Amino acid sequence: MDFDGFYRDTSRRLLRYAYGLTGDAAEAQDLVQEAYARAWQRRRRLAGYDDPEAWLRLVVNRLSTDRWRRIGIRRARAAAEPPAPPVEPPSEDVVLLVRAMRALPDRHRRALALHYLLDRSITEIAEETGSTPNTVKSWLSRGRTALAAALAETRAPEGARRAR
């Protein structure tokens, strides 16, 4: 069996079939791609079938059924769970902190986040980043200093910021 020729001759029909089953072009493409991947794995056996395209349609049909089953299970689980309470918007302090953190160099920001948000020790941060503990201490110190300066600047009155 010339698999390339088989693919060229059948792929458009199979894609239309999958689209008819799913109603979603991207999902149809995924199903067809998976069906051809399985066909490629069984290409020697597939060559002996009377109608290999029918086998592909069967695979697409089963994949589609599995997809609908998964969607149904997810919907049932979602319906059984109470809705999550609305999340409060971030406070002004959080917004200012995030803005100031974004202005820091990546390594300082990462060290501060690992140390203060994930409670990692200096040694753990050094191991994770592939640096020395003294380097991590330096990043934390410089990061704190830059963060304090950035936050002080956002807290300063408008006139004081312009005078600088």
Model confidence pLDDT, tens digit, residues 19-40 = 888 888 899 999 999 999 999 9
Phi, psi of 87 (to 5 degrees): -90, 135
Q: What is the sign, positive or negative, of the torsion defined by CA atoms of 22, 24, 30, 33?
A: positive
Q: What is the sign, positive or negative, of the torsion defined by CA atoms of 104, 109, 112, 113?
A: positive
Inter-residue contact 115 to 106 (CB < 8 Å): no
pLDDT at 86: 87
Final residue before a domain boundary, out of 48, 80, 112: 80
Distance of CA 45 to the CA centre of its chain: 37
Final residue before a domain boundary, out of 30, 59, 80: 80
Residues 6 or more apart whose CB falls under 8 angstroms from that of 164 comprise none
For residues 64 and 115, membership in a common domain is answered with: no
The CA distance from 56 to 49, in Å, is 11
**CATH (domain of 110):** 1.10.10.10
Is 86 inside any structural domain? Answer: no
Residue type, 58: L
Structural domain including 153 reads 92-163
For residues 71 and 107, membership in a common domain is answered with: no
Q: Is the pLDDT of residue 124 over 90?
A: yes
**CATH (domain of 76):** 1.10.1740
Final residue before a domain boundary, out of 80, 113, 141: 80
For residues 28 and 74, membership in a common domain is answered with: yes
Q: What is the sign, positive or negative, of the torsion defined by CA atoms of 151, 154, 160, 163?
A: positive
Instruction: State the pTM of this model.
Output: 0.46
Is residue 87 helix, strand or coil?
Answer: coil
Is 151 inside any structural domain? Answer: yes
For residues 62 and 12, membership in a common domain is answered with: yes
Q: How many domains does the chain have?
A: 2
Looking at residue 92, the DSSP 8-state letter turns out to be H
Residue-wise pLDDT tens digits, 43-96: 899 888 889 999 999 999 999 888 888 877 777 777 777 877 888 888 888 888
Residues 6 or more apart whose CB falls under 8 angstroms from that of 1 comprise 43, 46, 47, 52
